[in-house]
Amino acid sequence: MDLQRVSFYLLSIFLYFAESSSFRFDYKYYPNIDGWLKFHRLPATWHDAWTTCDLEGSILASPINPDMVSAMDAHWKSENTNQWTLYTGVHAMFSKGYFFSLEGVSLEKMPVRWAAGEPENKNNDEDCLAWVIGDVADVNCSKLYPFMCFKRKTKDMVTTSCGTVDKDYELSPLTGNCYKFHRRGRTWHQAQKTCAAEGGYLAVINSHEEALHLKKLFDDNYSKIVNSEDKDKIYVGMHDFYDPGVWRTIHGVKIEEAGYAEWSEHQSNNLTYGRHCGAMMNTLGLNDLWCDKSVAFICEKSLDSLVEDKVAE
């Protein structure tokens, strides 16, 4: 993508956001709460629900006031779902019997009522609060329920040239895409989930020049890497899950066809079971890793990944 096309694309993105109140296309804005809601249909545990919202830059929604109750009810109804129970961000895991929202609001101050027969604290193990058709019930936090995420609008929220409010994403004129270096190590699957939640994917290397760009990000952040089992490696978007020894990008393209297959010396040997996830060393060479190792990683996203596609009229 040449600079002229990049400039035009950035202008289009800027105009899109200048004309609308938007956080990301999969969130709906509600003026009465001055924020956005998203309904996640896939049931999850409370902790996984919390993690998903956090990765998306939001929090688990809670009925903390009449406006939130109204917005949550409207959003739930707009989904036309038959899922009647969903997690809220209210829990009593810090102090048994005392429920607070993630914002620190106590349940006693919320305009909600207990559902029939609640609370019951079954087996003394119900520390999370679920929304049940407008009422609430205490539930076991390991149960699987859908959930809503909430993002409050703040004065410092600015949509960058990367089409996101996340200021850590930086545009590369070389590829026309944006990149973010994650300094805290995660497993390969956790890293990909993180990137997906941010509207991107684990970085896919399509050329030696792009590898050099990733290496620069690597070098710039090397001293700040934490929770990594190997600081000299970062996860990238490649694997050989389907056919061991045949490495593909997360988009299904063989890495040779994608444009970069420069392995480090003695790699990929894949001699030990589990080394099916791809990494890049700080020497530029590719490396196969055990997928459950925690290492730093780089996410890549297109400029419009969080922007709703506009249908031509």
Whole-angstrom Cα distance, residue 5 to residue 58?
A: 32
150 contacts 40 by C-beta, under 8 angstroms: no
97: left (phi over 0), alpha (psi -120 to 50) or beta: left
Q: Which residues partner with 170 through β-bridges?
A: 179
Whether the domain at 23-152 and the domain at 170-301 fall into the same CATH topology: yes
Q: What is the pLDDT of residue 133?
A: 87
Structural domain boundaries in the chain:
23-152, 170-301
Mean pLDDT, to the nearest integer, of 116-128? 96
pLDDT, the chain, mean: 91
Whole-angstrom Cα distance, residue 22 to residue 28?
A: 8
- Among 65-74, 257-266, 289-298, whose mean pLDDT is lowest? 257-266
Higher pLDDT, 303 or 22: 303
Does the domain at residues 170-301 carry the CATH identifier 3.30.465.10?
no
Distance of CA 102 to the CA centre of its chain: 18
User: DSSP alpha helices (H): ranges in 19-65?
Assistant: 46-55
The CA-CA-CA angle for residues 203, 277, 205, to 5°, reads 25
The CA-CA-CA angle for residues 158, 170, 306, to 5°, reads 55
Model confidence pLDDT, tens digit, residues 42-74: 999 999 999 999 999 999 999 999 999 999 999
In the chain, the amino acid numbered 272 is: T
Q: What is the pLDDT of residue 273?
A: 64
Higher pLDDT, 100 or 13: 100
Reported as type and span, the H/E element at residue 132 is strand 128-132
Q: For residue 301, is pLDDT > 60?
A: yes
Q: What is the pLDDT of residue 19?
A: 41
| Share of residues in the chain with pLDDT > 70 (%) | 89
For residue 229, which phi and psi values (nearest 5 degrees)? Answer: -85, -10
Whole-angstrom Cα distance, residue 138 to residue 11?
A: 49
Q: For residue 310, is pLDDT > 70?
A: no
Q: What is the pLDDT of residue 268?
A: 63
Contacts of 191 (CB under 8 A, 6+ apart): 182, 202, 235, 297, 299
CATH code for the part of the protein at 23-152? 3.10.100.10
Place of tokens 């030990």: 272
Q: Rg of the chain over CA atoms, in angstroms?
A: 22
Q: What is the pLDDT of residue 265?
A: 80
Model confidence pLDDT, tens digit, residues 193-247: 999 999 999 999 999 999 999 999 999 999 999 999 999 999 999 999 998 889 9
* Pairing label, strands 35-44, 28-30: antiparallel
Model confidence pLDDT, tens digit, residues 143-171: 999 999 999 999 889 889 999 999 999 99
Using CB atoms within 10 Å of the CB of residue 215, give its burial: 0 to 12 exposed, 13 to 18 middle, 19+ buried.
Answer: middle
251 contacts 257 by C-beta, under 8 angstroms: no
Mean pLDDT, to the nearest integer, of 89-97? 96
Q: Tell me how far apart the terminal alpha carbons of the chain are, to the nearest angstrom.
A: 27
Higher pLDDT, 266 or 39: 39
Q: What is the pLDDT of residue 22?
A: 77
Mean pLDDT, to the nearest integer, of 86-93? 98
Q: Which residues partner with 226 through β-bridges?
A: 184
Q: What is the pLDDT of residue 307?
A: 87
